Structure 1
C-alpha cells in the first residue's frame, strides 16, 4: 500500500523508496531515449496577445510588492538553477527512482472532453506508452502529489522563497500536446518548468467573455471556450477578450495569481512542478 499510495511516515516512505528503486533496476536497467525535443517554430508569440512581463530572479520584497500583492502574473528566470532536479531528472533517473510506482494517468484530450478518463499504471508503463512510443490516446500525469508518494524525488527540489506559506507540490508530466483547459485556481501558483517547453495563455479574473461552466457544475472554475479554436457562434464575446501569453522553458517559473484564468499546452515532452499556496 505504501508503494501504491505513499505514507506520512517518513521512515517507511524512505524504505519504500529503496525497495521501489531496486525493483526498477531489476526490471529494466537499459538506457532510454530522452524525449525532450525542442520544436522552436512553436515557441513564438500567440496571435496578438501581449507577453507576460519577464524578470530575472527578483528580490523577495520586489516579488511580493510588485506581483504577489498586486496579483499580477510574471515570468521569472534564473531562480531555480540551484534545484538538483534541473540536472538530475533525466528519463533514466526518473525510471530508476519511480518506474515501478503506480500513478494516476489522465487519458484523453482534457478533462472537459466526454471520453476523458483516468487509469492507474506503473510510471514505466506510462513513459513507454505515452512518451517513448506514439500512443493514439494522450496520456498525462497531471496534478499528482508524486512527492508525497516518493520523498526521494522531493530531495531534488527546494521550496521557492517566494512562497509565503507551505505549498502543495504537484507534478505535471507528459508528451507534446497535453493540454490543461482554460480554468482558474484559488491559490497562488509558481509553475516551475524542469524539462521541455509549455505555452500558457492568461486572462485576468475580471474578464467577462470566457463563459465558465455553471456554478452548479463541478467544472465551475473552467471555461467552456477552447481559446485555441473558439466557437464564435456559441461564444461571441470571447473575440474581444484581452489576454497574455508566455512560453516557459527549462528553468523558467511563471507566477499565476489566484483566480487568473490560464490555458496550458505542452509544446514538447514536458515536466513541470507547481507550488500552490494561500
Structure 2
C-alpha cells in the first residue's frame, strides 16, 4: 500500500520571496519550493474566494470567444486522466468548445459526485483571455514568460514531467502535487514516448492504489517523494524534469502556470533520444559502454569541457553553434537517416 500523504516528505515552504531570492536562491538549488501567498493579491484569487461563479464571471471579462479543447473523461475512470484498460486508448476525449461553455458545464455539475472529468488544460492566456496577464503580474519572472490557465473539476493528472521549469499558481480550489526527483525514472515504470495523453510519458503506476507486486520499485519512488498541498494564492516551483502527480481536491479548480527554459535546444530532445535508441540500444554491452563514455565526454561533459584543449574554431561540429553550422548538421543528419 502507498504511504499516506502525511507520511511523505513535504516540500519546503517560503514566504515573501522576491525576484532576487527566486533567481539567486531557489532556482540554483534545483528543489521544489512552495511559495505561500505569492499571488494572494491577484483579483482572480480574490474572486475565487467568493465563489466559483464569481471567478468565472470575472474571467469572462477577458474572454473574446476563443474556441479551446475541452477534455471530457469517461465517468467510469473517476476523473483520473489516464489510459483505458490494456492501453486500448485514452480514457477521455477532447472536443472543441468555448471557455464559456466549459465553465457553464463545470458550474452545472459542482454537486454531482459522479460527474466525469471536465478539464480545459494548458490554455495560453494571451490567446484565450487577453488582458488577464496584465491584470495579474508575476514579478518573479517579468513579462517575458506568458502564462497558461487550467480550469476543471476534481481531476487526477497522472505522474509526468515537463522539459521546462514550472511555476504553478493556484487561483481557486485546492491542489495536491506529489513530486519525484528526476533520478526516480527507473522506479516509476514509464509508459511509451509516442502514445501519451499530453505529449510527455507517464508513470504507469497509479498513486492512490499502486500495485507493488507488479511495480515493486515504486516503493523506492515513494520514499523519495515530496508532497505539496496548495491553497488559493499559493504557488509551487517545479524544477526541470521533476515528475509530478497533480490532484485537484475540490469540485472547481483554476490554476495558472508559467513554463520557461534557460536554454533553447535547436533540435527536439525526444528526437535526439529516439535517434540514440536506434543507434545504440541493440549494440553489445561493451560497445554501448564505449558510447556511454563518448556521450559523457562530448555531450554531458562530465570530465570538463569537451575538446577544451582545442581552439573553438578547430572543434568542427562540436564547436560553437552558428546558424550555418546548425543547417549543415541538420542536412547531414537528414541525409544519414534517409540512407538507412
TM-score band w.r.t. shorter chain:
0.7 to 0.9
The residue aligned with 1:71 is 30
Structure with larger Rg: 2
Q: In 2 relative to 1, CA 147–85 (structure 1 residues): closer, same or farther, beyond 3 Å?
A: farther
The residue aligned with 1:118 is 94
Contact kept in structure 2, 1:99 and 1:124, CA below 8 Å: no
- Unaligned 5+ residue runs, structure 1? 1-44
Counterpart Cα distance in 2 of 1:97 and 1:129: 19
- Unaligned 5+ residue runs, structure 2? 49-54, 74-79, 85-89, 262-340
Structure 1 counterpart of 2:71, from 106, 112, 116:
106
The residue aligned with 1:129 is 105
1:220-259 superposed matches below 5 A:
221-241=201-221, 242-259=224-241
Instruction: Give the C-alpha shift of residue 120 in structure 1.
Output: 1.1
Aligned residues: 232
The residue aligned with 1:156 is 135
Instruction: Give the C-alpha shift of residue 138 in structure 1.
Output: 1.2
The residue aligned with 1:210 is 188
Structure 2 counterpart of 1:140, from 119, 134, 142:
119
Counterpart Cα distance in 2 of 1:156 and 1:272: 15
Whichever structure has more helix as a proportion of its residues is 2
Under a length normalisation based on structure 2, what TM-score does the superposition of the two structures give?
0.62
Counterpart Cα distance in 2 of 1:131 and 1:263: 25
Q: Deviations over 1:12-52 (max 9, x none)?
A: xxxxxxxxxxxxxxxxxxxxxxxxxxxxxxxxx71411111
Under a length normalisation based on structure 1, what TM-score does the superposition of the two structures give?
0.75
Instruction: Give the C-alpha shift of residue 223 in structure 1.
Output: 1.1
> Cα RMSD between the aligned structures?
2.3
Contact kept in structure 2, 1:212 and 1:220, CA below 8 Å: no
Alignment of 1:198 with 2:157, yes or no, is no
Residue aligned with 1:94, SS: helix
Contact kept in structure 2, 1:146 and 1:171, CA below 8 Å: yes
Counterpart Cα distance in 2 of 1:101 and 1:87: 25
Q: Deviations over 1:252-275 (max 9, x none)?
A: 000000100001011111111001
Higher relative contact order (CA 8 A, sep 6+): 1
Counterpart Cα distance in 2 of 1:143 and 1:75: 21
Structure 2 counterpart of 1:186, from 141, 144, 163:
163
Instruction: Give the C-alpha shift of residue 124 in structure 1.
Output: 2.7
Q: In 2 relative to 1, CA 92–256 (structure 1 residues): closer, same or farther, beyond 3 Å?
A: same
Q: In 2 relative to 1, CA 96–118 (structure 1 residues): closer, same or farther, beyond 3 Å?
A: same
Q: In 2 relative to 1, CA 250–235 (structure 1 residues): closer, same or farther, beyond 3 Å?
A: same
Contact kept in structure 1, 2:22 and 2:140, CA below 8 Å: yes
Instruction: Give the C-alpha shift of residue 122 in structure 1.
Output: 2.3
